[in-house]
Amino acid sequence: MNKIRWQSGLTMIELIISLAVSLLVIAAVVRFLVNNTSTEQFNYQFGIMQQSARIGLHSIANDTRLAGYTGCSNDFSISNVLDNTNATDEWIVNSEAVQGITRADVQSMVDPAATSEGIVIFKLSSSDIFSVSNHNTGSGSMSFTTAINSVVSNETPVGVIRQDCQQTAIFVPGSVSGNQLSYSTSGGGSRFSNCSVAFRGGFNCYDPGSSSAGDVELNPGTLRVLDSVVYFVKPDAEGNTLYRKRVSDTNAVPVVSGIEQLAVYYGVDTDGSGVANRFIQAGDLAFRHEDWDQVTVIRLHLLTQSAMEITRLPRAYFFNGGRVTPTDSFLRKEFVMTIDVRN
């Protein structure tokens, strides 16, 4: 009988083949795990970018829907006698419902660290409403049914609206005590003053050809605090961030991080049809140009950025109508929203 010969090990060729197959399997598993991790990281970062865009767009949209709000319809006169003392308060002295300002203007009027254009939204507060009980145009004084000094000071720009909505006056008190305020052409504190104490008509201090039609009694009426805001982008510890600044803010407040850039198009109704027939950008009209009154719609473009570099090579993206190829490996995505200016 033939003896059975048992093999006690692997030949060199078998060992090499086994190692090669094992390496291929390991490489495939590693590649799968790496790709799976990259995909998860991509999806995670993209989800954060979507959330950042949603927060940023809706924050601006909520303020825009109140643009021009005074508590009345838009068929009334606004006398804006407010004048700024500090250059960084110039954006506040503006009664256009929506106003675009260039990056250079944001840096000079709002925050020198800004890296984007800005959008200014004029409105009065929808809360903290005080009823006028007496208005003496001769002495420049007003009384209210309740105390106002917890909300209003001599640094607080306010709007007083006649009950019949025929006249609104934007000014700063000279002094406030209890339920009393007084005003004069010297204005209030260190930030603002008034160019006039005659509130009748539709005019503003920043237009040299505009002037008051005289005194008007604003009793009965209501007082609301000026609540205008400005949005822009600037870098901080969290990266590029969308900021919002109110009249009452000393410093702008971050809204959401991960916003690299902001661009806004303003739809202007130049033929009175009620529909925008021309789109402009912040630099197309001078600051406080009369045509800003004709804006009926805005289109927001927000460029979001991932919190970390996640692509192997620079990834091109589209923003504001153009294709951009970056030099880094951050993920970027543009989000767009169109909003009607109701007031």
Average the pLDDT over 72-98 and give the result.
Answer: 90
Q: What percent of the chain has pLDDT over 90?
A: 71
- At 26-59, the pLDDT tens digits run 776 667 555 555 667 778 888 999 999 999 999 9
Structure tokens at 290: 């009369």
User: How crowded is residue 33: how many other Cβ atoms within 10 Å of its Cβ?
Assistant: 10
pLDDT value of residue 18: 73
pLDDT value, residue 74: 66
C-alpha closest to that of 297 among 100, 72, 52, 50 = 100
Which of 76, 71, 83 has the alpha carbon at shortest distance from 201? Answer: 76
**pLDDT of residue 5 exceeding 70:** no
> d(Cα 72, Cα 90) in Å, to the nearest integer?
25
d(CA 155, CA 169): 16
With cut-offs at 50, 70 and 90, classify the pLDDT of residue 83.
very high
pLDDT of residue 309: 84
CA-wise closest residue to 323 among 312, 337, 313, 334: 334
Q: Could you tell me the two tokens for 32? A: 């799968």
- Residues 258 and 54: their CA atoms lie apart, in Å, by 11
Asked if 166 contacts 187 with a C-beta cutoff of 8 angstroms, the reply is no
Distance between CA atoms of 154 and 143, rounded to whole angstroms? 15
If phi > 0 it is left, if psi is from -120 to 50 it is alpha, else beta; for residue 140 that is left
Asked if residue 187 has pLDDT above 90, the reply is no
* pLDDT score of 289 more than 60: yes
From residue 103, alpha-carbon distances to 14, 37, 57, 94 in Å are 70, 39, 19, 18
Cβ-based neighbours of 112, under 8 Å, separated by 6 or more: none
Phi then psi for residue 33, to 5 deg, are -65, -40
The span from the CA of 266 to the CA of 300, in Å, is 9
Long-range pairs, 104-113, Cβ under 8 A, ≥24: 105/282, 105/287, 106/230, 106/232, 110/230, 110/232, 110/245, 110/252, 111/232, 111/234, 111/243, 111/245, 111/252, 113/234, 113/235
